[in-house]
A = this chain, B = another copy of it.
Amino acid sequence: MTTAKRDTYTPETLLTVAVRVFNERGYDGTSMEHLSKAAGISKSSIYHHVAGKEELLRRAVSRALDGLFGILEEPGATRGRAIARVEYVTRRTVEVLVGELPYVTLLLRVRGNTNTERWALERRREFDQRVSELLKAAVADGDLRADVDIRLATRLLFGMVNSLVEWYRPQPGGPSEWEQLADTVVQLAFEGMRASR
């Protein structure tokens, strides 16, 4: 039997619990019952805060998407040479992934069975497209190699960056750790692993 505790949740703190459960069980595999048990409050208390689990999903992926799209509006992404902008966006994407890890993890696992999931997939494609255009501009400037298919390169770049959510676990007491991680990602993606000859 679940002992319901007094409901002191805000939509924000309830979201933290929901995202953890979604990531553990998958969004499809999570019922309102699971959310109620994990939060320790009744289902009707949850409905007091949100219309249902899809609203929780929408709020969670919005947070991840706002973080990612926010990068594209920053001066580092909008001014200067395309190659510098691409590197800036790559570094900041690593920072957002690390800073919003559970939210971005959920975003990247979305499959597209509900309207919210399809919308999230569409927004992800938009983001990839925007970065793809930056890569194209850097190729046109002669800074990136012209012999690589840009669509493929964008996918591989994000494949590398997004894999963080599968294996990266924040270390206690390492606030600047993401910077070293971002350095390595940028180095590998743009300079490659080979020693200079």
Contact = CB atoms under 8 A, between A and B. Distances in A.
Contact of A195 (B142, B163, B166, B194): B142
B184 A156 contact: yes
Contact of A29 (B26, B143, B191, B194): B26
Interface stretch (A35-43, A45-53, A55-63, A145-153): A145-153
List the number of copies, as a whole number.
Answer: 2
A9 interface: no
A146 B193 contact: no
Which secondary structure dominates chain A's binding surface? Answer: helix
A164 B153 contact: no
A184 B26 contact: no
A188 interface: yes
Contacts of A146: 195
Contacts of A189: 188, 192-193
Contact of A145 (B147, B158, B195): B195
A78 interface: no
Given A159-B163, A160-B163, A163-B163, 4 more contacts: A155-B163, A162-B163, A191-B192, A192-B193
